[in-house]
């Protein structure tokens, strides 16, 4: 890997990203020595501008950043470092240096989950989610079963549009049932990850 440490007086920015969630955790600076130590130990090490020395993240707190991969950018003067964090990243005790939770996001599906949660917690007569939730767990589970059967039926036909429509209905109703049971997509992801061989 060719890295241009000479461009900025020997220091280059290192963006730290969680390998699983893809969230940015922090920004630090590396010189050649800290980069080499990171590779050697598999624990992210920076050059601390305030301490004027090498600093392995977690050396005092135990909240190490375990190295997964390092990529340099198109100009060879900044790094993207993917890690598995051990505990909170920020010295203030938060997951990230921007005080954000380091949770897995699923784009639109996470937005939909939040909308469903809002409709359940703040019911409105016009809300389909609120009315289904009010009818209880048995009705929600029945709807998931009905939608699953419709997906199977459409899978055997050749109408892709109907298959996708029914698949969307199944996923939507499953997300409602999941929340009614007190879970979210992240819980399902953890189960699937635990099955990885």
pLDDT digits (tens, 9 = 90+) for 44-92: 999 999 889 999 999 999 999 999 999 999 988 899 999 999 999 999 9
Count the neighbouring beta carbons within 10 Å of the beta carbon of residue 118.
14
pLDDT digits (tens, 9 = 90+) for 110-123: 999 999 999 999 99
Q: Which CATH class is domain 108-195?
A: mainly alpha
Average pLDDT, the chain: 94
Per-domain boundaries in the chain? 11-85, 108-195
Q: Is the pLDDT of residue 162 over 90?
A: yes
The model scores a pTM over 0.75: no
Q: List strand residue ranges (DSSP E) for the chain, in order.
A: 12-18, 24-30, 45-48, 53-56, 65-72, 79-85
Query: Can you name the residues that pair with 56 across neighbouring β-strands?
Result: 45
Sheet with 24-30, edge to edge strand ranges: 24-30, 12-18, 79-85, 65-72
Fold of the 11-85 domain: Ubiquitin-like (UB roll) (3.10.20)
């Amino acid at each position: 890997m060719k890295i241009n440490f000479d461009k900025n007086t020997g220091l280059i920015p290192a963006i730290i990203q969680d390998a699983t969630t893809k969230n940015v955790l922090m920004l630090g600076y590396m010189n050649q020595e800290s980069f080499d130590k990171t590779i050697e130990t598999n624990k992210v090490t920076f050059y601390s501008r305030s301490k004027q020395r090498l600093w392995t993240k977690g050396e005092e707190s135990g909240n190490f950043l375990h190295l997964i991969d390092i990529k340099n950018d198109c100009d060879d003067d900044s790094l993207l470092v993917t890690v598995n964090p051990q505990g909170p990243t920020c010295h203030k005790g938060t997951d990230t240096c921007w005080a954000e939770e380091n949770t897995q996001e699923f784009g639109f599906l996470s937005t939909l989950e939040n909308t469903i949660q809002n409709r359940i917690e703040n019911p409105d007569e016009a809300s389909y989610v609120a009315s289904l939730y009010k009818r209880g767990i048995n009705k929600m589970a029945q709807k998931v079963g009905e939608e699953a059967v419709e997906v199977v039926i459409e899978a055997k036909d050749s109408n892709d549009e109907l298959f996708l429509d029914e698949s969307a209905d199944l996923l939507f109703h499953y997300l409602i049932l999941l929340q009614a049971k007190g879970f979210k997509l992240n819980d399902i992801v953890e189960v699937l990850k635990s099955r990885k061989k």
